[in-house]
Amino acid sequence: MRLYLYLTSILIIMMTPLSQAAEIDLPKKVESWTRPDTARIITVDNIFDYMNGAGELYLGYRFDHLTVYEYEAEDRYNVLVELYHMKESNDAFGLLSLDWGGEPAKLTKKSFPSTEGAPNHRALYGAGLLRLWTGTVYARIMAYKETDESKRAVLQLGEKVMAANSTPAAPEMLNFIEPQISDWVYLKDRVRFFRSHLVLNSFYYLSHKNILDLDTTCAALTWPYESDSAEKAQTLVVHYADNEKALHALEHFYATYLPEYEFTEFTAFHKIEDGWVGHSRIGQHVVFVFDAPDKDGAHLIVEKIAANIHKHGG
């Protein structure tokens, strides 16, 4: 029965016009470009046909479906619109957080909840590409060739997407971040929200295996600290579905990453080849620090982040 309902829902999405499936009514024409009457609908079943191996990135963020329009104009390069519909707003935020580069673009007069801990941007533009997060939608709007006219078209389309969605707050996990700990200062534009170990490996390589038991039931946040002496340490916080999963994940981490050390359930620090590793488990949350230059630095970071978890949601 569940399989039947799932397949039926997929069929409805594929047969429904964009105005209903995507809930975003994009203009038929923008500047010199015109879109087709119907969108291309991408689901979990055909995402790899659309983007080859890159589909893993979106599936790791609770991907629901993607609507695609390609605007065309005579004697001009096309403008591509991709609207990634995620199951939670946190996932749309997470996709934007993968790259904070670009020029902030103000696409609406709406006021947004302040984004503590990460750059307070909802849209970023650079070299013909606009990326934005609004509601449960992550959008990529790209002119294949950037001109003054194509930039206007891209930004106008971004305004339409932004206007059609809500303005939720960023993930509450950002409250766990402590901007400065002694002489350690966090790098704000390197804050990433994710759920998949494959996504983690794209910006901080830990292992080719899923040694932290990450999946779409988890929520994770990572960011680096830099000291006055230019030393760096990587912080990682994972929120598991329950205490038992957090404990089992920590056991798995020890067995694969720290096999020479005896398992410690709550807080511990260990010296390995790349520096000091520390961790602390607070219920469903586990905080890690990697590459710390000494035990004191690792301890300071883990202690403060653990305190913030207790304060805001541990």
Alpha helix segments (H runs only) across 164-228: 197-203
Comparing 16-20, 83-87, 169-173, 233-237, which segment has the lowest mean pLDDT?
16-20
pLDDT band at 115 (very low <50, low <70, confident <90, very high): confident
Alpha-carbon distances, residue 206 vs 52, 151, 236, 237, 267 (angstroms): 24, 38, 11, 14, 20
Give the number of C-alpha atoms closer than 13 A to the C-alpha of residue 73, restricted to the C-beta side. 19
Mind listing the pLDDT tens digit for each residue in 265-308?
Answer: 999 999 999 899 999 999 999 999 999 999 999 999 999 999 99
Q: How confident is the model at residue 9 (pLDDT cuts 50, 70, 90)?
A: very low
Q: Which residue has the higher pLDDT, 15 or 197?
A: 197
Tokens of 169: 């707050």
Tokens at 238, concatenated? 């994972």
Lowest mean pLDDT among 3-12, 70-79, 210-219, 272-281: 3-12
HSE (CB half, 13 Å, CA atoms) of 222? 19
Query: How much is the pLDDT for 18?
Result: 35
Residue 3 pLDDT > 50: no
| Structural domains in the chain, sorted by start | 2-163 (3.40.1000), 172-312 (no CATH)
Is 0.75 surpassed by the pTM of this model? Answer: yes
Give the model's pLDDT for residue 123: 97
Residue ranges with strand state E in the chain: 29-30, 33-34, 40-42, 63-73, 76-86, 103-104, 123-126, 129-134, 137-143, 180-181, 184-186, 192-194, 219-227, 232-239, 267-272, 275-282, 285-292
SS3 state of residue 31: coil
pLDDT for the residue numbered 173: 96
**For a pLDDT cut of 90, what percent of the chain falls above it?**
86
Q: Residue 22: its pLDDT value, please?
A: 42
What is the CA 264 to chain-centroid distance, rounded?
30
pLDDT for 17: 36
Mean pLDDT, the chain, whole residue set = 91
Per-residue confidence (pLDDT) for residue 23, from 0 to 100 = 60
pLDDT greater than 70 at residue 16? no
Averaged pLDDT, 69-74: 97
Q: Which amino acid is at 4?
A: Y
Percent of the chain with pLDDT over 70: 92
